[in-house]
Structure 1
Amino acid sequence: MDTLITAARVLPRPSAPIDGGAVLVRDGVLAAVGRRDDVAAAAVDPVVHDFPDATVLAGLFNVHVHLSFDATRVMLPNFLASDGASLAHAAGDHLGQLLRSGVTTVRDLGGRTVLKPAGGPRVLASGPPLTVPEGHCHFFGGAVSSDAEIRALVDANAAAGAAVIKVMAGGGQITEGGAEMWESQFSLRQLEIVVAQAARHGLPVAAHAHGADAIAASADAGVSTIEHCTFMSGRGQTDLRPEVARRMAAGGISACSTSSRNWRMMAERMGEDLARRVYGRLPWLEEHGVRLLSGTDAGLPGSTFDDPVGALELYEWLGFSRRRILEIATEDSAAGLGLSAVTGRLEAGLSADVLVVDGDPLAELSALAKPLLVLAQGVPAS
C-alpha cells in the first residue's frame, strides 16, 4: 500500500528544500520525492498524511550508543548485575526511545553480544570491543593479549553478525585501574592487525581514541571512524595535530564527537575558555576536511536515548549553520557509515527512513524536538 506524506516543506537533503513537497513510500522504499502534485500523481490508492505546518526530512543518525547501558549514574553496576535477557529487553526499550525521537539508524558500539533487534531503527552493532586485559570496558568481554587473540575476537564478532569492529585504541573514564583517557592501549602494529582482520570480513573499524597519540595511530592504521577524537595529551591538555587531521581527511576517516545533551553542563564546569578549546576541535576538524558524524554515547550517565536535539545544539553553539547540522545528522553520517546508497537522504530508491517535525528546523533547530511522524524502513514508530 502506498503512503503519501505531504507537508509545508520537504528536505530531500538540507541544502535543497522544496516548498509544498511530498514523499511517496511504497513497500518500505521511497518511491518518489518532490513537488506535491508530481508525487501525488505517482501514488496508487495511497494513505495520505498531510502536515500543513511541518517539515519532512530523512531520519536522524546516532552513530555511537550503548544500548546495554541505562543512562543513570549507576549504569555500570546495573549493567554488571543484569543478565542477557534483561539487557536485551532494555535495549529494545532504548531503541524505541531513539526511534520516537526521530533516529532511524543507530550504531551500538559496545556490549556483551551483537544485538540483533527486530524492527525499529536500523542497528549496526559491534559486540564486545577489543581492549587490553583490565583495559577500558573490559567488562564487555573483549580483552585480548596477543595477535592471535585479536584476530580470534574479530572473527568471533564477525561470525556473530557484527556490522562494525570496535577497538579501544586508548583509555577511558568509566574503567577504574585502566589506561588514562589520553593514554594508548594498542600499538600501531596491533591496530593494523585489527583493521586487516576486519577487512577480511568486509567490516569497518571504529576506534575509541581520546589521546592524540591514539588518534594518530588509528588514522595511520586506516580505521573508518574515530570516536571522541578529543586530541588529549594529558589531564586538561590537548594537542591538535593538523597533519593527523589532514591524514584523516585524505583517508576518508570520519570523527564522531560523542557529545550528548550533557555538553552544556560540561561547558559550565570547564568554563568558557576551556570549553571553547575542547569543543572547538569540531569546527577545527571540519576546517581540515574531516567528515563529522552525529553520535551521543547514549547510555552513559545523563546521555539519554531520546534527546538528539540537545546534542545537536552543541554545533549551533559552536557556530555551525542549521543546514550543516542537519547534514551532519543525516547525509554526512550516512556517508561515514557507508550507507549513502541506503539512507541519509530523501531520494527515490532509498530506504523510507522519514522524519516529520512540526515547524522548520532550518529556521529553528528546536523543531527537531517535535516529531509528528517517524518511519523506519517504511514502518511507523509506535
Structure 2
Amino acid sequence: MRIISKLVAGAAFIATPALADTTIIHAGSVITDASGNPSGPATITVTDGKIVSIVDGFQPTPEGAAMIHLPEHTVLPGLIDLHTHLSGDPSGEFWRSAVNPPEWSTLVAAKNAHVTAKAGFTTVRDLGSRSDQVTQSLRMATADGMLPGPRIVTSGRTIAIVGGHGDTNGFRREVNDALGTSFACTGAVQCAEMVRTASKYGADLIKITATGGVLSQQGRGLEAHFSDAEMKAIVDTANSLGLKVAAHAHGARGIEAAARAGVHTIEHGTYIDAQAGRVMRENGTILVPTLMAFQGIKENLGTGFYTPVVEEKIRAVGPYAESIVERASEYGVKVAFGTDAGVFPHGQNAGEFALMRKGGMTDRQALASATSVAAEVIGMEKEIGRLAPGYSADIIAVEGNPLSDVAVLEKVDWVMVRGRVIE
C-alpha cells in the first residue's frame, strides 16, 4: 500500500498511479452533489480514472493500491469554468499580438492550464485562443497526461465581423491585414463557412462576438455586430454539425438578437434588461456572467494599463457589472459559472463565487453553477459535475464546507483530474 497525502512533496504529477491502478481516498467529508449535504468520513475508490464506489467510513486499502489520506478535508466534485482564455495573460499592450510568436501562446497556455487545475478547476471551456491550434493541442496533451491541466472544451478561434471585437484591430491597415484572424466574416454564407472551418480544425463549440467588446481597440459601442441573418446562419450551421454556440454579448439588443437566433450561452450579459431576459428565458439561453473579468479590469483603471478608448469603455460598463446576476435572476434566466480568466490572472477563478453571492445567489446555487449546472451546459452531466460511480475522477479537497461558505473554494488543497493527482 502506498500512502500519499497533500503534504508529500515527492508525489509529482508524473509519479501518480497509472490509470489502470487503483487509488483509495479517505475523506473527512464528501459532497457528492451541490444539491446534497456533506457526509461523514467516507472512502472513494478510483480505478482507471473513474470513480468505482463511495462508501461510509475509512475502508481498508487493497494491496498495491495508493491511498490519499484527507481526514480533515471536505471532498467534492472538481469545478468547471465555462469561460477562460488559457493562451493569454492580462495585458493592456494590444500590440503584443504583433510581436509574440504562436509558440509563446502555447507555452503560456500550458502554464495557465497547470495553474487553473491547481486552483480546483478540473474542466474549462476555452473561448478564443490567440493562435491557431493552441488549445486544440493542449486539449490533447492534458487528456493524454502529457501535461498537467484540466479537461479542455475549446472553441479554438472566435468568429467576428470584419473589424469587430475578435478581429485584429488597432494597428495600421497593413498590420491589421497581416494579423487578421481569418475568422471574420460578412454575410450569411461566409459566416456559415467560418463555422464549418472551425469545426474542421477541431472546435468543440463555436464562439462568436455578437456585440462590440470592452478590451478591443475599436470604440464603436457594445451593441449588436452581426445581422440577424448572419447569426441565424451561424447557429443553424453549428447545430447541423452538433455544435453549440457561445456568444460574447454586452448590449441588451445584441443579447436579445443572439438569444433569438438560438445561441446556447450569453457571455457577460452586461446590459441585460427585461426584454432581453424574456427572450433568453423563452429560448433556454444560459447566462455566463464573468464577474471576475469586470473586477479585474476595474482594478487597472487610471494606471495607464489600457489605451484611452478601452478605458472609456471600462468606465461605461462598470456601474452595470455588479447587478448582472441580480437582473438575470429577476428575469428568470439560468446562470452558470464562468470567469473570463486571462483578463485577470489565471488561478484566481474561484473569486467569482463571492461575486455571485453578492449578486444574490446562495452558496449552494453558486457551487451548483460551477458543477452540475456547468456540466449540463457542456453536455457532460453524466460524466462530471458530481461524484458518483462511473463518473470521471475529477475531485478536489478543501477545508470547510462550501455549502455554507462558498469562499472556502478560493483555497483548494488537493486536486485530481481524470484520476491523476495535480501537484
How does the TM-score come out when normalised to structure 1?
0.88
Q: Distance in 2 between matches of 1:80 and 1:253?
A: 36
For 1:100, the aligned partner's letter is: K
| 1:235 paired residue number | none
CA contact (8 A) 2:188 2:231 kept: no
| 2:84 paired residue number | 65
Give the number of aligned pairs: 365
2:56 maps to which of 12, 32, 35: 35
Measure how far apart 1:85 and its partner are: 1.3
Cα-to-partner distance string for 1:218-242 (whole Å, 9 max, x where unaligned): 11111111101122xxxxxxx612x
Cα-to-partner distance string for 1:175-226 (whole Å, 9 max, x where unaligned): 2235312x21012221110001111211000011101111111111111111
Cα separation, partners in 2 of 1:179 and 1:102, compared to 1, 3 Å: same
CA contact (8 A) 1:68 1:79 kept: no
Measure how far apart 1:64 and its partner are: 0.8
Q: Distance in 1 between matches of 2:163 and 2:417?
A: 38
User: Equivalent residues in 2 for 1:215-230 (5 A)?
Assistant: 215-230=255-270
| 1:105 paired residue number | 123
| 1:87 paired residue number | 105
| 1:10 paired residue number | 30
2:189 maps to which of 140, 148, 172: 148
Cα-to-partner distance string for 1:151-195 (whole Å, 9 max, x where unaligned): 2211111011100101111001222235312x2101222111000
Q: Distance in 2 between matches of 1:335 and 1:48?
A: 31
Cα-to-partner distance string for 1:57-103 (whole Å, 9 max, x where unaligned): 111111111122212333x3333322121111111101111001001
CA contact (8 A) 1:134 1:178 kept: no
For 2:165, the aligned partner's letter is: H
Deviates more, 1:258-267 or 1:206-215: 258-267
Q: Secondary structure at the match of 2:23?
A: strand
Q: Secondary structure at the match of 1:150?
A: helix
Cα-to-partner distance string for 1:101-139 (whole Å, 9 max, x where unaligned): 001111111123242211121111112211111111202
CA contact (8 A) 2:364 2:404 kept: no
Q: Distance in 1 between matches of 2:33 and 2:397?
A: 14
Q: Distance in 1 between matches of 2:219 and 2:238?
A: 25
Measure how far apart 1:261 and its partner are: 6.8
| 2:328 paired residue number | 285
Identity of aligned residues (%): 30
Cα separation, partners in 2 of 1:178 and 1:73, compared to 1, 3 Å: closer
| 2:355 paired residue number | 314
Cα separation, partners in 2 of 1:157 and 1:201, compared to 1, 3 Å: same
User: Equivalent residues in 2 for 1:189-208 (5 A)?
Assistant: 189-208=229-248
1:53 maps to which of 48, 72, 84: 72
Deviates more, 1:167-176 or 1:282-291: 282-291
User: Equivalent residues in 2 for 1:119-134 (5 A)?
Assistant: 119=142, 120-134=149-163
| 1:25 paired residue number | 46
Q: Which runs of 4+ in 1 moved over 6 A?
A: 41-44, 267-270
How does the TM-score come out when normalised to structure 2?
0.80
Structure (1 or 2) with the greater strand fraction: 1
Q: Distance in 2 between matches of 1:83 and 1:278?
A: 34
Alpha-carbon RMSD: 2.4
For 1:318, the aligned partner's letter is: G
Measure how far apart 1:287 and its partner are: 4.1
Q: Distance in 1 between matches of 2:276 and 2:360?
A: 23
Cα separation, partners in 2 of 1:285 and 1:177, compared to 1, 3 Å: closer
| 1:323 paired residue number | 364
- Residue 298 (str. 1) matches residue 298 (str. 2): no
Name structure 2 gaps, 5 residues minimum. Answer: 1-20, 143-148, 169-180, 302-312
Cα separation, partners in 2 of 1:368 and 1:248, compared to 1, 3 Å: same
Q: Distance in 2 between matches of 1:260 and 1:137?
A: 20
| 2:16 paired residue number | none
2:289 maps to which of 253, 257, 273: 257
For 1:198, the aligned partner's letter is: A
User: Equivalent residues in 2 for 1:133-172 (5 A)?
Assistant: 133-139=162-168, 140-172=181-213
For 1:213, the aligned partner's letter is: R
Q: Distance in 2 between matches of 1:260 and 1:47?
A: 37
Q: Distance in 2 between matches of 1:379 and 1:230?
A: 38
CA contact (8 A) 1:291 1:336 kept: no
Cα separation, partners in 2 of 1:365 and 1:225, compared to 1, 3 Å: same
| 1:248 paired residue number | 280
1:346 maps to which of 364, 368, 387: 387
Q: Secondary structure at the match of 2:161?
A: coil
Name structure 1 gaps, 5 residues minimum. Answer: 232-238
CA contact (8 A) 1:215 1:226 kept: yes
Q: Secondary structure at the match of 1:162?
A: coil
| 2:226 paired residue number | 186
CA contact (8 A) 2:294 2:321 kept: no
Q: Distance in 1 between matches of 2:294 and 2:218?
A: 25
